[in-house]
Structure 1
Amino acid sequence: MSRRETRAQQESRSPVTLPLVVVTVERGGTLAVTVDGAPFAPEAFAPAWRRSDFGRIMDRITDQRRTPVRVEVHESDGTSFTDIITPSPSRRTRPEPEPAKTETAFDAPAAPQLVEVTAEGFIPGEDIGVAIIVTHTDASHTGRARALLEAAQFDASPTGEVVLIGRLSGNYEIVRRS
């Protein structure tokens, strides 16, 4: 191939685009983070992102995408900077899959026994916390919350109670195992 063909081929390719991470530093030192315009929030019940979380946030984002990201940081005083952050070398390689294990009927784990927990009085569609907080569920269009727990999860409560908490309504229901 000639050099001209190679250049023409290169010009016909789409430009490389990197995921865009925008970090906005609020006055109190908390961070608002978006990835390609979508919010990237801390896990449920975790405190808001802080400046000290910056490295951990970037590790999580680059680990998820396994690619460099373009980062724009907007400070509360109006200054900003841009950088490219790449995944750390140890995080770039995917772990080798474990060899497949052949299971017999005797080796297969027993199916977990599930317990249904329900309560009423929630705002339709609101997020419902299930305490011992092991999962979340949404209220149905009628405001009813339903969660499926493994019996072992329910048994982890010494009182035999689970609390469903509505984050918007403030409603909570204590459900006792029957």
Structure 2
Amino acid sequence: MLPHVVITVTETGALEVTVDGAAFPPPAEGQGWTRGTFGELMDAVTADRTVAVRIEVRESDGSVFTDLIHARKPTPPQPAETEPRQPRSKHTKAKQAPELVEVTGEGFVPGEDIAVALIVAHTDATGTGHARARLDVSRLAGLLDDGVGEVVLLGRVSGTVQVRRLP
């Protein structure tokens, strides 16, 4: 279940924030959340975008806006300059180029997000409502060995479902 963040904008423009019903105070005493600190607030609530949350903003005029802030994949740390690089030996295999399989479908809403299941990737529909996904066969090798041989294209807006057998 996603954490539910409610942000209420007061008449003065200050933001009152709760997360799952509990008050979420600003980091510094005496300072409050404001529209100007909204980015910092989102970073604090989502732990620098590592946690997905549902946001509800209640404006002082009575209007309400909702959104989902998706977590992003953490960026792996770069090796420190002091770490020696491992020399390549003649026994080290070069990384092979991926072997790709193309899966297509139609009937999607132009520009909609398409889920590609065994959920290994997502793609977008073209301006004509067609979708195309290119899959790295090496990522699917273990699954294919287990007898899985189909891919599902699911239109997130249209609900269009296309099931395709892998070659």
Provide TM-score, normalisation by structure 2. 0.51
Q: Stretches of 4+ moved more than 2 A in 1?
A: 23-30, 34-37, 73-76, 93-107, 152-155
Distance 1:110 1:152 in 2: 10
Distance 2:101 2:56 in 1: 47
Distance 1:113 1:141 in 2: 27
Counting only pairs closer than 5 Å after superposition, residues 1-178 of structure 1 correspond to structure 2 as: 24-25=6-7, 29=20, 36=39, 54=45, 57-58=46-47, 60-61=48-49, 96=80, 98-103=83-88, 107-155=93-141, 156=143, 158-178=147-167
Partner letter of residue 84 of structure 2?
Answer: P
Residues 154 and 160 in structure 1, CA contact (< 8 A), matched pair in contact too: no
Whichever structure has more helix as a proportion of its residues is 1
Residues 165 and 172 in structure 1, CA contact (< 8 A), matched pair in contact too: yes
Distance 1:177 1:74 in 2: 42
1:7-45 per-residue CA deviation (whole Å, 9 max, x = no partner) reads xxxxxxxxxxxxxxxx53599949xxx9649x88xxxxx
Distance 2:57 2:157 in 1: 30
Count residues with an aligned counterpart.
112
RMSD over aligned Cα atoms: 4.1
Distance 2:158 2:104 in 1: 16
Distance 1:144 1:174 in 2: 14
* TM-superposed deviation, 1:162: 0.5
Aligned partner of residue 175 in structure 1, secondary structure: strand
Partner letter of residue 109 of structure 2?
Answer: I
Identity of aligned residues (%): 40
Aligned partner of residue 153 in structure 1, secondary structure: helix
Distance 1:74 1:118 in 2: 37
Residues 6 and 19 in structure 2, CA contact (< 8 A), matched pair in contact too: no
| Change in 2 beyond 3 A, CA 1:74/1:151 | closer
1:109-139 per-residue CA deviation (whole Å, 9 max, x = no partner) reads 2212111111111111000000011111001
Partner letter of residue 122 of structure 2?
Answer: H
Residues 115 and 154 in structure 1, CA contact (< 8 A), matched pair in contact too: no
Distance 1:149 1:25 in 2: 41
Partner letter of residue 168 of structure 1?
Answer: V
* TM-superposed deviation, 1:151: 1.0
